[in-house]
Structure 1
Amino acid sequence: MLNILIVGLGGFIGAAGRYSLGLLNGRLYPIVIFPINTLAVNVIGALVIGMAEKYFLESGNFGSSLQLFLMVGVCGGFTTFSSFSLETITLFACGKTFIAVCNIVLNVVICLIFVLIGRTIMGRILL
């Protein structure tokens, strides 16, 4: 039960952070030209989860309450794969196929790269 509360608290913080980031440029939705907020959130989340994963593996704290809080809760609440999916489908439905494909490629490729960057950064910090 405690782990559920830990993940829930992290999720609240992540979701509030996501909402706050959307307010920075004065819009949450709709898509104007390109869904940059979602891309930014996914890239930041990928970087953080890559760093966290490396830290927890190297420190031997994998499976700890802090790991659940940060990786499952905060990162899970912060990143927005469901928003990404909806925005991509909306772009396709509006006939913006090229932008939809760019959205898919950029979110997937850049986020994979940032997970690796996050792991690398944390690996160097832990040396």
Structure 2
Amino acid sequence: MLWLAVALGGAFGAMGRYGVSVLLAPQYIKFPVATLTVNVLGSLMMGVFYVIIVEKAMISQEWRHVIMIGFMGAFTTFSSFSIEALHLFQAGHWQTALIYVGLSFSLCIAAVFIGITITDNLI
């Protein structure tokens, strides 16, 4: 049943992400405003839901799978990155947090570049 809960949340998260992309991604804008908006909004929502579900238990733990894993996972994975980095900073692990943030940005950007380059050359 948890698999279905995650899938249901994921369906709504994916539709939400697509909706934001349709609203905020006109062809004439070169800056990825839709993705930035989704990532920032997703991070904000992850923080809100973390407190409501995990810290305050205002919603049952079962909803964690629907909202935090399904919906947020499909809406943006940046929200997971953000909360993990925040936990490292809050725990006083500044060096680890900075390395994690730096590696996440640089490696992911490099991975996208490599993936595009390899695929462009193969296809």
TM-score > 0.5 by shorter chain: yes
Counterparts of 1:99-114 in structure 2 under 5 Å? none
Match of 1:70 among 55, 67, 72: 67
Q: Could you tell me the TM-score, scaled by structure 2's length?
A: 0.57
Q: Which runs of 4+ in 1 moved over 6 A?
A: none
CA distance in 2, matches of 1:9, 1:31: 34
State the match for 2:4 in structure 1: 5
Q: Aligned-residue CA RMSD in angstroms?
A: 3.4
Could you tell me which runs of 5 or more consecutive residues in structure 1 were left unpaired when the two chains were aligned. Answer: 94-127
Q: Deviation of residue 45 (structure 1)?
A: 0.5
| 1:51 correspondence with 2:48 | yes
Query: Cα deviations across residues 14-66 of structure 1 (Å, max 9, x unaligned)?
Result: 00010011111354xx7942111111001111011101111123334788221
Number of residue pairs matched? 87
Structure with larger Rg: 2
Could you tell me which runs of 5 or more consecutive residues in structure 2 were left unpaired when the two chains were aligned. Answer: 79-104, 117-123
CA distance in 2, matches of 1:41, 1:17: 9
Name which structure has the greater RCO, CA cutoff 8 Å, separation 6+: 1
